[in-house]
Every structure is written in C-alpha cells, then in structure tokens.
A and B are shown apart, each in its own frame.
Chain A
Amino acid sequence: MTYHANEKGYYGEFGGAFIPEMLYPNTEELRQNYIRIMEEPSFKEEFDQLLRDYVGRPTPLYFAERLSKKYKAKLYLKREDLCHTGAHKVNNTIGQILMAKKLGKNRIIAETGAGQHGVATATVCALMGIDCVVYMGEIDIARQAPNVARMKMLGAEVRPALSGSRTLKDATNEAIRDWINNPVDTHYIIGSVVGPHPYPDMVARFQSVISEEIKWQLKEKEGRENPDYVVACVGGGSNAAGAYYHYLDTPEVGIIAVEAAGKGIDTGESAATSALGKEGIIHGSKTLLMQTADGQITEPYSISAGLDYPGVGPMHAHLFRSGRGEFISITDDEAMIAGLEVSQLEGIIPAIETSHAFAILNHRKFKEDDIVVINLSGRGDKDLNTYIDYFKL
C-alpha cells in the first residue's frame, strides 16, 4: 500500500489528467520528462544549491517551548516562514523554473490567489531572466495590493482574471487558457499539488524537501526520525504534501490536515473540502471538490486567501478517503485567535493559513510525550491588514 502517485498520476481513485486535447502535448511533454530531469545530477545540484544559497534552506526545526508547555505536548515548528519570499511556495517555483529551462521554455505563466505563489514565481523568473505573466482574480488584486506591487517590482505582468467569481479558481482557469493559446514556448508553474498529472506529483516532490529535513533534524534533536504527528493546513495542499511526503507510507506517523471552515461548515461560507466536497473533476484532476448537485463548481470562502480553493489535491483526497489522514476544520475566528496566541507565546506572526494549523491545539488533545511537528508554512506579514482589521490593532 502506498500513498504516493502511481505512474498514471492516481492516488487511489483520485488524480489523473482530465484535460482537453489542447493541453495534451504540454502535459505529455512534462509527464514524459519530469522524473528523468529531476533525477539528473546537474538538476539536483542546481536545485539544492539554490535552495541553500537563495531560499535559505534548511529551514530550522524549532522546539516551541512555551506553546508546548501550554498544550502539554512536544511541539516542533518547521520554519518555512523563514524561506525567501516568506513561505514554502518558493521551493516549488525554484524546482519548476529549472524544469522549464530544461524543457527549453522561455515564458512562464502562473495563477495566484493571495499572491504568495505569484510572488514566488515572479521572484524565480527575475532570478533567471524569464518573462512572467501571473493571473490573479480581479477581486484578489484589489484585496492583496502589496503582493501585486511586489510582483510588478520583480518585473512580472499581473493580468486580472475577469471571469466567473474573479478569484483563485478563475485565475487558474485563465492561466490554463493562456497555456492552451501558447502551447509551445510557455511553461505553466502551478502553485499547489493540484491540476492534471504530473503536476500534483511533481509539486509534491519539489516540496518534499520539507519532510526530508524534518527527518534528520528530528533525529538530531530527539534521536528519532519520526514524529507522532505531522500537522499542516490544506488549501490545495502543497505545504502539507511536502510535510507529509516522507511519512506517507510510515503508518506510525499520524497525518493531520487542517482545512478552513470559514464562518462554519454549515454556513455556506466555508472552504472545508473534505467535509463539503464530493468526487469530481476540477482543473484537470479527479478529486474532492465543492460543487452543486449538478456538478457546477462552487465558490469557497475563508478569511485566508491561501485556503480559499474549492478542491484539494488528489493526494489529500486519497488521504481523507482512505482514512490515512485525520482532517480537522477550523473557523476564521479560531484561526485568528490562534495566530495571535502564537505571536505572543513564540514571537512568530504566522500567515493566517498557518494559523489554522495552530488552532487544532484547542481541538485535538495529544499525549504529553507526543512529538508533534506543525508546518509553519508562511509568515504573517502579508496578512497584517487582515489581522489589524480583525483585532482592531
């Protein structure tokens, strides 16, 4: 039994490539080459070197003493918030920009919701001197002005997605349409473990550096590679995929996935896909997604733009369906309070996405000697305005 993708990109019954024929040549080129390229010594060397010297890896595994005392468990924080650009997203964009170069592409497109993946993509494009177009919902452009400015400063063109609900889902649609229109010279850097095969597996592999580091770091600190639990927030699920990756097939490590309940699962304003979603097709992948009985994809809601996606990656759909993962959903209010608490107990202001992961400490009791690794996927600078409004700071 494995929880990794098979050669056709299926995690159990989820995954695959449900794409129009127009996208077949692009994804097929990627599918045939991605593993071979990732295993080339020259690729590995350049990837590792950039992660070390440019991103700042390895990121620390930090024992959170005051938080541990309060919640009576040994809590370790994997500090992805210390990555260049402020979140784990850059691990993937570094990998994919190198992949794009190997495939001879000279133009990059990406989608972004809150702007974190857009910034991470614009950053690596600046680094490599490659043209970059980032699609972003018109509504998100208005509410994430600082990240829009960052992308522009980095030389990227930010194109508003004007269709549908004008948020992340629609930005993804627009990026896919751009790729259909530009099938030869363009590489699409998807920001999460979503989309058609091979994207979920490729992005998970690039993010797997997170759990690779946790293993040896925990060995140094605790004399063992395996924690009792790994906790991560899940929107599309890339930071979670990275944090779980090397533990997927190690059943003694508990996997906890934290989704955004928004204003509450039953309020109609939620993004808790495992609770509200049904099997279907979104952005080329068979997975769990929020939809009407008729199969129209619905709009999710969360205070956190990074969790505001109506599906989850197929890996996570499989973790949920098989029972391998424990899924917990956290409301806006619970997340905000947890974010404030972590700030004041540990001196770390987390991204609101990550605050959802911390909020489970009030729901889920651990044993006192349990070692729990929480993936601190991003820092809260980008969310300052939301925190200010919420707490009237």
Chain B
Amino acid sequence: MTQWSGYFGLILQGALVTIELTLMGSVLALIMAFLAGLGRLSRFFAIRALATAYIEFFRGTSIFVQLFWAYFVLPFIGISLTPLQAGVLALGLNVGAYAAEVVRGAIQSIGREQYEACIAVNLGRWQAMRHVILPQALLVMLPTFGNNAIELLKATAVVSLISLTDLTFQAQVVRSQTGNTMVPFTTILIIYFALALIISWGVRSLERRMARGLDGVRV
C-alpha cells in the first residue's frame, strides 16, 4: 500500500503554485488587457499600432513557445527570470492579448448616445471613459473575463515544462515515484475542475453585484 498522504501533500503544494500562478498571471493579463484594449481605441496611430502588434503577436504564437522564449532565450540578452517570473510573464501577456480584444469590444458595444450625453454635459474624454463608459463596459467584459481566467488556469500546466512545481509537475513526480498513473492524474483533473468552478462562481456573483439596479427590478 502506497503512502498516499505524503503524495497528496505534494499535490496540494502543486495546487498552491498553480493558484499563485493563476492569480499573478490574471493580474498581469488584466493590466495588459486594459492597456492594449484602450490602446486600440487611441486617437494616436503609434499607440494603436503598438497595441495591435502586441495583440496579434501574442495571439498568433504558441504559449509553449512564448514560455520557452521567456525562460530560455531572454537570458541570452541578459534577462534571467525565475521559472515563476517567466510563467507569470508568458501567461499574463498571452491571455492579456485575448482579453484586450474583450475590453475593446465591450467599450465599443456602449451606444453612441452615452458618448453624446457625456459631450452634452461637457465631460472630457477621459472623464467620460472613466465614469460613464468603462463602468458599463465592465459588465459586458465580465463573463468573457471569466472564460479568460479559466483559460489561464488551464494554461498554467505548461509551466511544468520549465520545472515549476505546479499541479501537473507534482502529478508527474507522484506518478514516477509510485508507478501509479490513474490516481495522481485523476486527482489533479478534479482539482483543476474545482478551481475552474470557483472562478466561474466568483465571476458570476461579481456580475450579479454589478448588474444590480440596471434591470429596474431591485432598488
């Protein structure tokens, strides 16, 4: 009989690394999404071009390659990252590129009459964006942001390839030490799924909170 409790400890440690990566990656992705999403709507060509280049490049190349590049190639130009730093960077930039299009689309979905109301009450461009357009657009973004966060969670598995001890890495450790394949991989399958469920629930309750009052039912 294998000593499973010790191995579960390993897997739980891996789960913590995965959660940490997901949280840090999501924060970076969120920042990149707003920078690039707003950048795509900029009045200035240079900013639009920069934002578009970022989005197209990171959507158009594989997350594996991006991660390997961040971890193995950057040292050649004098930037050495820890596996965690490289993982957060690659995940954040990759998912941020997708989410940037969500930000842009949501902002553009807000009707012209809202922009016109802002002009009529003489708000500046940034004031209108900050106080009128973004709060409404955020509600449109949320469901897709939830999807993006789950995508990011699942993509964290690739960091096991640069020896970061996340869930997937630990499962492989357990497998090689015990010779048992089914238990470790089934366990992490369930853990990934549970984490994804937590993200969906969180996003949905946030959505409900933000939509309060907009439907005319609640006070």
Tell me whether A and B are bound partners. Answer: no
B interface with A by C-beta (< 8 Å): none
A interface with B by C-beta (< 8 Å): none
